[in-house]
Amino acid sequence: MSYVEAVKRSWADERGVELAFSNGRTPGTGIIEFCQGWT
Protein backbone atom coordinates (compact mmCIF):
# COMPACT_ATOMS: atom_id res chain seq x y z
CA MET A 1 0.00 0.00 0.00
CA SER A 2 1.38 3.38 -0.98
CA TYR A 3 1.54 6.36 1.35
CA VAL A 4 -1.19 8.17 -0.61
CA GLU A 5 -3.45 5.12 -0.56
CA ALA A 6 -2.96 4.83 3.19
CA VAL A 7 -3.98 8.47 3.65
CA LYS A 8 -7.06 8.06 1.47
CA ARG A 9 -8.06 4.88 3.27
CA SER A 10 -7.61 6.46 6.69
CA TRP A 11 -9.78 9.44 5.67
CA ALA A 12 -12.45 7.03 4.41
CA ASP A 13 -12.40 4.99 7.62
CA GLU A 14 -15.06 6.61 9.80
CA ARG A 15 -14.18 4.29 12.68
CA GLY A 16 -10.66 5.65 12.57
CA VAL A 17 -11.98 9.20 12.85
CA GLU A 18 -14.22 8.20 15.74
CA LEU A 19 -11.27 6.58 17.47
CA ALA A 20 -9.20 9.71 16.97
CA PHE A 21 -11.85 11.84 18.66
CA SER A 22 -12.47 9.31 21.44
CA ASN A 23 -8.75 9.37 22.17
CA GLY A 24 -8.88 13.16 22.43
CA ARG A 25 -6.88 13.63 19.24
CA THR A 26 -7.63 15.29 15.94
CA PRO A 27 -8.25 13.06 12.91
CA GLY A 28 -5.10 14.55 11.39
CA THR A 29 -2.99 13.19 14.24
CA GLY A 30 -4.52 9.75 13.79
CA ILE A 31 -3.80 9.82 10.07
CA ILE A 32 -0.15 10.73 10.69
CA GLU A 33 0.21 7.85 13.14
CA PHE A 34 -1.62 5.51 10.76
CA CYS A 35 0.74 6.36 7.91
CA GLN A 36 3.80 6.02 10.11
CA GLY A 37 2.63 2.49 10.89
CA TRP A 38 3.00 1.62 7.19
CA THR A 39 6.57 2.89 6.87
Structural domain spans, the chain: 3-36
Confidence of residue 21 (pLDDT cuts 50, 70, 90): low
The greatest distance separating any two alpha carbons of the chain, rounded to the nearest whole angstrom, comes to 27
Confidence of residue 26 (pLDDT cuts 50, 70, 90): low
Which pLDDT belongs to residue 25? 55
* pLDDT over 60 at 2, yes or no: yes
Residue-by-residue DSSP string for 15-35: HHHHHHHHTT--HHHHHHHHH
- pTM (2 decimals)? 0.27
- The average pLDDT across 17-31 equals 59
